[in-house]
Amino acid sequence: MKKTVIIFIMLSIVLSGCSKSTYDTTNVTSFKRFNKYGLINEFGEEILSPKYDYIYPIIDDYPIAVRKNDKFGYINKNGEVVIDLIYQSGDRFIFGYASVEKTLENDVLNRRVWGVIDENGIELIPFEYDRIDVISENLFAVKLDERYGIVNLNNELVVFYKCDRIYSFENGYARIFLGGKWGIINESGDVLIEPKYQSVYVLKDNLIIVKLNEKYGLIDINDNVILDFKYDFMSVFTNNGLAVVSIDDKRGYIDKTGEIIIPLEFESARTFTNGIAAVKINDKWGFIDESGLFIIEPMYDDALFFKDGIAAIKVGDKWGFINKENEVVIDIKYSHVSSTNIDLLKVEKWNRNGAIDRDGNIIISIKYKELGMFF
């Protein structure tokens, strides 16, 4: 009897030493395994075993949207349910709010309606709309009878129902969609740019990339043309003030005055990061500096961005990483690679995903069907 008790105590100690009740949740992401989703941290520790049908992309420290058995709710980074799975659908939290959809109680037609809740699950905007999108810290795009308007936190109508869609505000401006065309409004609902463009994209300095008659140009918030509509493609302007543009399948770089800084002579080109850009010429990729000179000659089948001194490159059908001296620092052996928003690199091999550090060491085992971004 005494021997049995001793064995039991020793076994309990061993088991308690093998279990872990708390994990580091500073940086967490979702993973998919066995066709279910769970949570994992940056050290490869599975915080939450796969149990949900879907875990939506994580944003900061807001509650995490999840779905299970056709029900929608929210968990925290420890995997604990913080808002019960009682909704039909919903969105991720942004600005501290989330729009969610539920079925009306005692409704013979089982109609679904949308409202807004806070991080405690408390109803802020009543469930009475066909759709709601959180578009700023105190404004919400709401849909009734196939048209969108805007209400505030008091559910007061700020902008009348006149748009086919209203998107999030950035720097005080929001894109609107009406009759197949794009325009811009301010927070009072004033139309600053009439819906007449094929696409619009507001930059940080309130210049706007627009597409008209299949050509891209640049306007200001007063709809004054800054750059003529002559480009087949235009990227955003990066920190060095340059954007990729294309004419007749040739790409190069311009500044915001329209001056060509690097001639349009490339078959393809990516935006600059840290003063370096990947470009394609004669069907091979290399890297140039801001003067347009090659620092790594075109020799790769594909190439991405330099970040923290390394860049992903492709040889044949495999990916690896090089440094600025064109030395291979991580073996070219992965079927796909990408950066994460922390100091890890996501890699894919044999249709499974994992993560490595910048020395190529495996931190998260390459065994997951999906692996998200860390927050």
Q: Which domains does the chain have, with CATH numbers?
A: 301-369 (2.40.10)
- pLDDT tens for residues 264-285? 999 999 999 999 999 999 999 9
Q: What is the mean pLDDT of the chain?
A: 93
| 19 pLDDT more than 90 | no
- The model's pTM is 0.89
Give pLDDT, residue 151.
97
Q: How far is CA 54 from CA 75, 98, 142, 231, 294, in A?
A: 12, 17, 26, 40, 44
CA 311 from centre of chain:
20
Give pLDDT, residue 21.
57
- pLDDT tens for residues 246-256? 999 999 999 99
Give pLDDT, residue 106.
82
As a whole number, mean pLDDT of residues 88-112 equals 93
Instruction: Of 317, 280, 325, 312, give the one whose Cα is nearest residue 298.
Output: 280
Give pLDDT, residue 314.
98
Give pLDDT, residue 206.
87
As a whole number, mean pLDDT of residues 130-146 equals 97
As a whole number, mean pLDDT of residues 321-330 equals 98
Q: How far is CA 186 from CA 135, 169, 223, 233, in A?
A: 12, 8, 14, 27
Name the band, by pLDDT with cuts 50, 70 and 90, for residue 109.
confident
CA 180 from centre of chain:
25
Give pLDDT, residue 7.
46
